[in-house]
Amino acid sequence: MAGNTPPVGVLALQGDVREHLAALTALGADARAVKSPADLDRVAGLVIPGGESSVIDKLSRIFAVREPICERIAAGMPVYGTCAGLIMLADEIVDGIAGQLTFGGFDATVRRNAFGTQLDSFETELAIPALGEHPVHAVFIRAPVVERVGADVDVLARLDDGRIVAIEQGPLLGTAFHPEVAGEHRFHERFLQKVRAAS
């Protein structure tokens, strides 16, 4: 499926990096860990994994990848963010720690830890027409939620109470949940389609 896709990366500073590498590899992609600006230069798209957004922010500065990632996003690089990765792609965050920065890209406001603690993690089935008729098994772990979207942002999924948990804007894709944990690869395939289209 993804044999003609250029190399893609998973930001490997913190979080569930291995699961994303495995999901992308299962789809036939040349998936690589990205820890440095040189690593970033070698990939045509990037996945930002779930983990702790404040830690990813701090480590991105320490490893000097923050500015290069921001520049690549601004230049149109396809990026898929899950959970903390979705927070990192938001132009605005609510309940961030003092001084917390994001990479930006999504004209959206995302609230950290919108569902409470690790004990409030849950799983559910989501209808996502953009991915086909079969529902998506969504795993929420200390998940964020999208509180505001701009005019150019497409909402892909909502919970039953109306809260937004998956969005798309041009080359950017974001989910508040973890498809890679549930063995759900349709979002990763959608990301790879964006990479192929951009290249």
Which residue in the list 19, 20, 168, 178 is annotated as catalytic? 178
135, 118 contact by CB (below 8 A): no
Rounded CA-CA distance 139/72 in Å is 29
- Is 92 part of the annotated catalytic residue set? no
Burial string for 102-140 (b: 16+ CB within 10 Å, else e) reads bbbbbbbbbbbbbbeeeeeeeeeebebeebeeeebebbb
Q: Known catalytic residue: 178?
A: yes
Among residues 19, 180, 184, 189, which one is catalytic?
Answer: 180
* Angular region, 13: left φ>0, alpha ψ -120 to 50, beta rest: alpha
**Inter-residue contact 172 to 78 (CB < 8 Å):** yes
Provide the residue type at 34 as one letter.
Answer: V
125 phi/psi in degrees, rounded to 5: -100, 130
Rounded-to-integer distance, Cα 171 and Cα 160, Å? 27
Residue 61's nearest CA partner among 110, 13, 112 is: 13
**Active-site residue 20, yes or no?**
no
Question: Residue 149 in contact with residue 164, Cβ under 8 Å?
Answer: yes
Give me the active site residues, please.
83, 178, 180
